[in-house]
Amino acid sequence: MSSRFSANHELMHRARGDLSGKWGLSVVTVLVAGLIASLGGILPIIGPLVLNPPLTMGLVLFFLSISRRQPAEMDQLFNGFKKFGVSVLANLLASIFILLWSILLIVPGILAAYSYAMMFFIIADEDSIGPMEAIAKSKRMMKGYRWKLFCLQFRFLGWSILCLFTCGIGFLWLLPYSLVSHAHFYDEIKTRPQA
């Protein structure tokens, strides 16, 4: 891999190429994840804290496969539950840390959220990693790249606004596009020296 970090528009272009021929499967996978998450919403605390982390993990596993041009199947969505404990604990700890930083000031809370942004990708890649290790590794990995990730996410803002005019249906296509772009971002920064 080149030592030059790909520009965000290149990551997005690569994501569109990866999704070619896989949009249908991706949309159905996101739809199924959304339906399961909405069922979990019946229980206000249990859903976000217990059900959403393994679902997020399943989506990360699925879209990492697409970004790496590996076989991707909707069943991978449920593979996130194989990492149930670590995903739930890592998500809970990260949420607590972000909340504590946010109590000080909003900006430290935002910086903390970006520091832990690669946590689920790390857990997806490393079977034996623990929750605190994943958080710490994400923090090291994101050092110097938080602004770049913010800029990547900002590029999706206009699309997100347009999706609102489709009563949210457009998000079924935007989420795969965003997650594959994020997967490419992760694969690039994980190869770089960490502090």
Q: Indicate whether 52 belongs to any domain.
A: yes
The whole-number pLDDT of residue 3 equals: 55
The whole-number pLDDT of residue 194 equals: 66
pTM greater than the 0.85 cutoff: yes
What is the b/e burial string over 55-81, where b = at least 16 CB atoms within 10 angstroms of the residue's CB?
A: bbbbbbbbbbbbbeeeebeeebbbebe
CA distance 36 to 23: 20
Q: Indicate whether 194 belongs to any domain.
A: no
CA distance 178 to 105: 28
Q: Indicate whether 193 belongs to any domain.
A: no
Q: Indicate whether 106 belongs to any domain.
A: yes
Q: Indicate whether 195 belongs to any domain.
A: no
Sign of CA dihedral 77, 41, 35, 12: negative
CA distance 76 to 78: 5
Q: Indicate whether 56 belongs to any domain.
A: yes
Q: Indicate whether 191 belongs to any domain.
A: no
Does the structure show a pLDDT above 50 at 2?
Answer: no
Q: Indicate whether 156 belongs to any domain.
A: yes
For the record, the structure tokens of 132 come out as: 């605190």
Task: Kindly state the average pLDDT of the residues 131-141.
Answer: 96
For the record, the structure tokens of 176 come out as: 């795969």
Q: Which domain holds residue 133?
A: 8-180
- Which residues fall within 8 angstroms of residue 150, CB to CB, at 6 or more apart? 114
Are the CB atoms for 163 and 171 separated by under 8 Å? yes
Name the percent of the chain lying above pLDDT 70.
97
* Count of domains forming the chain: 1
